[in-house]
């Protein structure tokens, strides 16, 4: 091989171009920004799947925030002093339970 001829220079240029194309193909395949020949970056356009996943993620975050708000309210109810009073009332109801709500039991009915 003649190291000083134009074939060697063209081979080097060809290898550089091929390696640049392979590099950009790999970057595009994995979703990274692409490089142009001057070192600038070109961001890949968002796909439909990425937009759908972002919308689903946003909806799940909103749902999680709503559930956390509900959990805070439930924690306040459970740790409230009135909750123990409600437990005592329910305990009394279960002792006096005749199969009907309080005040509606048929006291004079033949059984």
The yes-or-no verdict on residue 3 having pLDDT over 90 is: no
| pLDDT digit string, tens, across residues 58-111 | 999 999 999 999 998 888 877 776 667 777 778 888 876 655 555 555 555 554
Q: How is the chain split among helix, strand and coil, in percent rounded to 5?
A: 65, 5, 30
Confidence (pTM): 0.36
| Cα–Cα distances in angstroms (integers) from residue 19 to residues 13, 25, 36, 45, 83, in the given order | 10, 10, 13, 23, 71
Q: Check residue 60 and give its pLDDT.
A: 96
**How many CB atoms neighbour CB 24 within 10 A?**
15
Nearest of 24, 74, 65 to residue 44 by alpha carbon: 24
The yes-or-no verdict on residue 6 having pLDDT over 60 is: yes
| pLDDT digit string, tens, across residues 25-59 | 888 888 777 766 676 676 666 667 778 888 999 99
Q: Check residue 77 and give its pLDDT.
A: 76
């Amino acid at each position: 091989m003649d190291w000083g001829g134009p074939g060697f220079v063209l081979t080097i240029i060809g290898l550089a171009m091929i390696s640049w194309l392979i590099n950009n193909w790999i970057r595009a395949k994995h979703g990274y920004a692409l490089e142009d020949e001057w070192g600038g970056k070109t961001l890949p356009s968002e796909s439909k799947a990425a937009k759908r996943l972002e919308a689903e993620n946003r909806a799940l975050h909103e749902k999680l925030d709503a559930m956390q708000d509900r959990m805070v309210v439930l924690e306040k109810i459970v740790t409230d002093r009135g909750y123990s009073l409600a437990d005592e009332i329910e305990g009394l109801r279960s002792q006096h339970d005749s199969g009907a709500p309080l005040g509606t039991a048929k006291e004079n009915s033949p059984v």
